[in-house]
Amino acid sequence: MSPPLETDICVIGGGSAGLSVAAGAAQMGARVVLVERGPMGGDCLNFGCVPSKALLKAGRIARLAEKAGPFGIDASASVDFARVKQHVAGVIAAIAPHDSVERFEGLGVTVIQDSARFTGRDTLQAGGRTIRARRFVIATGSSPAIPPIPGLDGAPYLTNETIFSLQEQPSHLLILGGGPIGLELAQAHRNLGCRVTVIEAAAIAGKDDPELVALLRRRLACDGIEIREQTKALAVEAREDGLRLMVEKDGMASALVGSHLLIATGRRANIDGLGLEAAGVAVTSKSIAVDARLRTSNKRIFAIGDVAGPYRFTHMAGYQAGIVIRNALFRLPAKVNYDAVPWVTFTDPELAQVGLDAAEAERRHDDIQVLRWSFAENDRAQAERATEGLVKVIVRRNGRILGASIYGPQAGELIQLWALAISQRLKIGAVASLILPYPTLSEVSKRAAGSFYTPKLFGEKTRRLVRLLLKLP
């Protein structure tokens, strides 16, 4: 029996959250043990953000041929689905060394590639060894949540963990779930030549601004994607040529026949087998319970990333990692602040949000104003024939910015200005007074901000003042 492995920090999970803590703590001089049972890089690198964006880019390149005509260019595209998947695999392979065992061992981290299980409040077993740490960080991520649909267990369905390794091109991809994963993969596959149907029990992109979601819904429909909202999946039946999905809407049942089925109905925290009871770690119905400092009910143990929530984004994992390092290494009572959390659905055009939307702002305040600016009024968007889009900014009467929503080209880049403004509690004048290069898409944000002053600046009071001043010698 090997002696216990003593360490300062033991991180469970080699995804975005865990790797951020392990790298940061090791480079700051802490002894770090990292336990990961699956591929290094976790969901983001292998099954999520990276492969999905690589696939989306391939789809957009294919779609560019159809959009070349207005620019005076005749073009056509032929999709080789297997080579597209090689492109996706190549992107993952290019990033993988940054998340590899070799890199982290080079940083001084002890990496154990095995499952982990708590045996006490300060002890863990992994790789045949007992690990005793001053602090533990649970960063085990999440997995696809599979709904209890009759017949699904006997059908060859896909999830985000399997669809990127699919080599044959689906003739008709059925996607159950209209959230970011479902919509991104729907458009990517449609652009690559697949027939696509999205089935959503509620409304697509349910966490985003309804006005902007309506624009996205119209775009997806124009792309040829069939969207069935307020539709419940009843049963799945495997067939020789694919599968048959029974659905119901407004009490009426119907059947959808597809070659492949993708389940994208949400995520569940990876907590099974961790022995959390032995460690005294409390859980909720959705995740590990944490306080504002990301500590669990056992104050020696932190939980971050998807396993803790409330936002399951890679950028939130990195943010939470910083909170843990300040608490665990520097003993600072750092707390999370989720007032300016941005998120993006990477469709084309993109849909982005930060802060409050109009509905939530109205529930909290009685003096809000909604500022709007269309991409059609932006010269760069006109030059690139990418005028579909809208910026919405929510402000109070005093100019305080509460939130922003953007639907349009590069919305994920443009939302960053508003995330900064909200996080730093800037007022709308700070954005309105910016000097921005021309012509750029970022001017849509400046124009939206400037519209806050339009009623006063060009109102009758200002006109009278100007006329009076012009009379002076």
Binding-site positions for NAD(+):
177-184, 200, 266
Q: Judge contact between 386 and 442, C-beta under 8 A.
A: no
| Residue 261 CB neighbours (<10 A) | 27
Nearest in space to 296 (alpha carbons), one of 318, 311, 272, 278: 278
CA separation, residue 356 to residues 44, 141, 360 (Å): 26, 26, 6
- Six token digits for residue 151: 């017949």
Token pair for 212: 């902007």
Contacts of 225 (CB under 8 A, 6+ apart): 186, 187, 190, 196, 197, 198
Annotated binding site: 53, 140-142, 177-184, 200, 266, 306
Q: Check: CB of residue 184 under 8 Å from CB of residue 269.
A: no
Q: Whose structure tokens read 């799945």? A: 236
Q: Give the C-alpha separation, 403 to 405, whole Å.
A: 7
CA 279 to chain centre: 31
Cβ burial 342-363 (10 Å sphere, 16+ → b, else e): bbbbbbbbbbbbbbbbbeebee
Q: Which two tokens stand for residue 237?
A: 């039946």
Q: How many CA atoms lie within 13 A of 14 on its CB side?
A: 28
- Residues contributing to the annotated binding site for FAD: 53, 140-142, 306
